[in-house]
Structure 1
Amino acid sequence: MAVRFAVARLEHLGINPAPLLSQSRLSAADLSNHNRISVISQIEFLGRVSRATKDNWIGLTLAQDFDLREIGMLYYVAASSRCLDDAFRRLERYSRIANEALAIQIDREPTCRIGLTYTGVPRHLDRHQMECLAVVLLRLCRQVVGQKLVPLRVSFVHHRSGDLRAIRRLFGCDIEFGALADEMHFDRRILELPLVKVDPFLNELMVKMCEDAISLRTSNTSPLRTLVENTIAPLLPHAEARAKTVARRLGLSERTFARRLAEEDLRFGEILDELRRDLAVRYLEEENLQASQIAWLLGFHQPSSFSHACRRWTGLSPLEFRGATASLRLEN
């Protein structure tokens, strides 16, 4: 979904999407033939579109500019439900029809919490798609009840800096970045809201179609490494990215966690180090982030520790690496 809208955005701005698609291992044929697109490729493509259009909020831009009916079956099975709680139950069960890596979890006490998680996809690689998904979900909730619902609070795992007024206006509340989970909280009373287009006959038909669709999909178990990365990432700024803490969050003892890693020839220290490296490269692209802030986001106690790690990863200091990547972008 987001890839098609991003291509249309590029074409509207007079930018040829073909090179960006190719760099993300995608093609125009994938889109025209409605081929299933890997979530990793989607994430990579949105990142490239953000840079090409100089739109640091490309996910928000795309999420606001399309007819929600283009979501397809997922829209109709939710919109034809009896009340918002029923719509949430449908979204929770069938979300992977639209995105095989996305899971939606709904908790109903003490508030209505809508959690968004990836399975089998490294969460730290993404920010644009998760923001796009959250806005689309909010738009869907508002449209099906005919009210401008406002969350109590919204949080994202990834980091953001700079001017946040646009996203705050969009959601109508403060946004927490660098949080432990991607989620929206509402007053639980919204669950009882009736939908404006209740259609039990259409809903019965759509439920059958969705059940048929998910029965055709094979379930893929999330690789352990990705699961560990997605658990580590939100712990970094809190300096809690330790094997003991990760094991507890995964519901494992330290011994079982270590054995599971060893069975797949993985080492916790290497996963942590490589995750920090990937995030460091991303954060250094943000010119308004100081090295001391990046050090904190990565869980280093001192900026000097981050500088040493950056030299080990790239052969350059943070300042040198930032200058080199800026020059490369200008050349391209």
Structure 2
Amino acid sequence: DFGLLSGRVSYMGSTHLFLYLASTSKTLRDWLNMLPSVTSLVGDVGSVQVSRHREGFALEWHPVRPPGPGRCMITDNILATTVLQMDSYCMLPVRPRRVDLSYAQPGDISGLRERLGGPLHFDQPVSAIHYDWDVLDYPQVHVVTRAYDAVVEEFSAFFSANASAADPLSLELHAAIRRQLPVGKCSIDSVAADMGVSRRTLQRRLKERDTNFQQLLQGVKSNLARRYLEDKSLSIIEIAFLLGYGDPSSFSAAFKAWGGLTPTEFRRQ
């Protein structure tokens, strides 16, 4: 059961990152929409993909190398980590309704039952964890961290003196940008869609507050970058991901352009 146990270690090692993601999400659906970007942190061993089924959806593990007939430690690790992550960041319990495993049934499955839960099905075409549709609407856990304890101060810096930090648009816009950044496609169109308004409406409202989208976006990213870097539990690559950069070097270049220091130099201060 080493793969299952190492999955718990992997889960604990990424807890801070996923708590930040939960804090930027309204529901589990929002959180899952970030999965394609999150799995880039797994490396080149494979990817977790979401598939739709009549009864619900599944998180499928697709390794780069085709799995053999025997029990796979990496598969156990990924599935155990995923089960823990799915159940840890929602306000309500998220339990699998079925677990598929691509290998043959081993002699002792007690560890698999304990760690993965749900009815176990072996010799399946792909290893996957199945869930009911309704869990997608479960609210996410929102935590108070050093990254968010000065949000009012940030709002005051982003908008003119005439704009209130308690302005509903300011609050909603900042939250929408934080949700869109980890997906890697944060644009005025995606943020407007997230907020349920048209691009033109959002542009007009920003103009009324003496700012524009690009100016606001860079301000949010710059401030969040500094706050993330103050949290030593987050690695540089995790921070780059949270801010929507494809790799640490792109983030480092942007951060140096903002303040003249690289992320590493900023942390050494």
**What TM-score do you get using the length of structure 2 for normalisation?**
0.51
| Whole-angstrom distance in 2 between the partners of 1:58 and 1:123 | 17
Assess if the C-alpha contact under 8 Å between 2:22 and 2:142 holds in 1.
Answer: no
- Which structure 2 residue ranges, 5 or more long, are not aligned? 149-174, 185-239, 251-269
Shift of 1:73: 4.7
Note if 1:135 corresponds to 2:80.
yes
Equivalent residue, structure 2, for 1:193: 138
| Whole-angstrom distance in 1 between the partners of 2:87 and 2:183 | 22
Residues 255-292 of structure 1 show CA distances to partners (whole Å, capped at 9, x for unaligned) of: xxxxxxxxxxxxxxxxxxxxxxxxxxxxxxxxxxxxxx
Residues 109-159 of structure 1 show CA distances to partners (whole Å, capped at 9, x for unaligned) of: 42111111023x232287111111111111111111044322111011122
Distance 1:197 1:75, change over 3 A: closer
Shift of 1:216: 7.5
Note if 1:96 corresponds to 2:40.
yes
| Whole-angstrom distance in 2 between the partners of 1:170 and 1:137 | 11
Distance 1:101 1:108, change over 3 A: same
Equivalent residue, structure 1, for 2:129: 184
Note if 1:213 corresponds to 2:157.
no
1:103 aligned counterpart, secondary structure: strand
Residues 288-316 of structure 1 show CA distances to partners (whole Å, capped at 9, x for unaligned) of: xxxxxxxxxxxxxxxxxxxxxxxxxxxxx
Equivalent residue, structure 2, for 1:116: 61
| Whole-angstrom distance in 2 between the partners of 1:75 and 1:69 | 12
Distance 1:186 1:143, change over 3 A: same
Shift of 1:88: 1.0
Residue correspondence of structure 1 range 170-319 to structure 2 within 5 A: 170-197=115-142, 200=175, 202-208=178-184, 209-210=240-241, 211-213=244-246
Assess if the C-alpha contact under 8 Å between 1:151 and 1:186 holds in 2.
Answer: yes
Equivalent residue, structure 2, for 1:155: 100
Assess if the C-alpha contact under 8 Å between 2:103 and 2:123 holds in 1.
Answer: yes
User: Which among 56, 59, 64 is matched to residue 3 of structure 2?
Assistant: 59
* Greater share of helix: 1
| Whole-angstrom distance in 1 between the partners of 2:57 and 2:97 | 10
Q: CA RMSD in A?
A: 3.0
Assess if the C-alpha contact under 8 Å between 1:58 and 1:128 holds in 2.
Answer: yes
Distance 1:105 1:78, change over 3 A: farther
Distance 1:102 1:74, change over 3 A: farther
| Whole-angstrom distance in 2 between the partners of 1:97 and 1:157 | 23
2:245 aligned counterpart, secondary structure: helix
The residue type paired with residue 129 of structure 2 is M
What is the number of residues matched between the two proteins? 160
Assess if the C-alpha contact under 8 Å between 1:74 and 1:98 holds in 2.
Answer: no
1:145 aligned counterpart, secondary structure: coil
Assess if the C-alpha contact under 8 Å between 1:60 and 1:135 holds in 2.
Answer: yes
Assess if the C-alpha contact under 8 Å between 1:59 and 1:129 holds in 2.
Answer: yes
The residue type paired with residue 166 of structure 1 is G
Equivalent residue, structure 2, for 1:68: 12
| Whole-angstrom distance in 2 between the partners of 1:62 and 1:177 | 21
The residue type paired with residue 145 of structure 1 is C
| Whole-angstrom distance in 2 between the partners of 1:67 and 1:131 | 13
| Whole-angstrom distance in 1 between the partners of 2:45 and 2:15 | 16
**What TM-score do you get using the length of structure 1 for normalisation?**
0.42
Equivalent residue, structure 2, for 1:43: none
| Whole-angstrom distance in 2 between the partners of 1:78 and 1:99 | 22
| Whole-angstrom distance in 2 between the partners of 1:92 and 1:212 | 14
Residues 12-54 of structure 1 show CA distances to partners (whole Å, capped at 9, x for unaligned) of: xxxxxxxxxxxxxxxxxxxxxxxxxxxxxxxxxxxxxxxxxxx
Equivalent residue, structure 1, for 2:267: none
Assess if the C-alpha contact under 8 Å between 1:68 and 1:140 holds in 2.
Answer: no
| Whole-angstrom distance in 1 between the partners of 2:47 and 2:245 | 18
User: Which among 25, 30, 50 is matched to residue 106 of structure 1?
Assistant: 50
Assess if the C-alpha contact under 8 Å between 1:59 and 1:131 holds in 2.
Answer: yes
Percent identical pairs in the alignment equals 17
